[in-house]
């Protein structure tokens, strides 16, 4: 969508970094997610995606790279995924990339579970932490 401003939310100790770019279709939510009020924190993101749905980019790539999230955040993540599912069902090219530490079976399984719930192409992307 040409007139939709990009959305950037800086990470905090209990909130993820969010980058949403309407012109490129690049979306990223990365970090930890356990804000005191999940609905308030994610409202701007959900509203932005609702506007983006009207005229999405030719290809939308959603990168989810969460180290930790609480139960309330998991519900919002599912709400976000449902919005991208709707974009996909309307004929747009959408892929969700679920990034998880290769040694974290729980986070890997969570990605598998989300992939089974929503009807959108899903890629599991394992990564290894590299410490200097």
Query: For 39-71, what is each residue's pLDDT tens digit?
Result: 999 999 999 999 999 999 999 999 999 999 999
Return phi, psi of residue 61, to 5°. -120, 120
Where residue 131 falls among pLDDT bands split at 50, 70, 90? low
Could you state, in order of their start, the residue ranges of all structural domains in the chain? 7-127
pLDDT at 106 over 60: yes
pLDDT of residue 40: 97
Q: Which is nearest to 100 in space by CA: 115, 90, 85?
A: 115
pLDDT of residue 130: 73
- What CATH class does 7-127 carry? alpha beta
Where residue 1 falls among pLDDT bands split at 50, 70, 90? very low
**Measured distance CA(130)–CA(54) in Å, rounded:** 40
């Amino acid at each position: 969508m040409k007139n939709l401003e990009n959305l950037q939310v800086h990470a905090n100790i209990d909130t993820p970094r969010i980058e949403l770019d309407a012109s490129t279709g690049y979306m990223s939510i990365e970090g930890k997610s356990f804000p005191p009020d999940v609905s308030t924190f994610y409202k701007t993101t959900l509203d932005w995606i609702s506007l983006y749905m009207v005229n999405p980019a030719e290809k939308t790539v959603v990168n989810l790279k969460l180290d930790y999230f609480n139960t309330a955040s998991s519900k919002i993540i599912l709400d976000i995924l449902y919005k991208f599912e709707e974009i996909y069902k309307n004929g747009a090219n959408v892929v969700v990339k679920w990034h998880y530490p290769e040694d974290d079976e729980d986070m890997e399984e969570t990605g598998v579970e989300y992939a089974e719930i929503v009807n959108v192409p899903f890629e599991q992307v394992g990564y290894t932490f590299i410490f200097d």
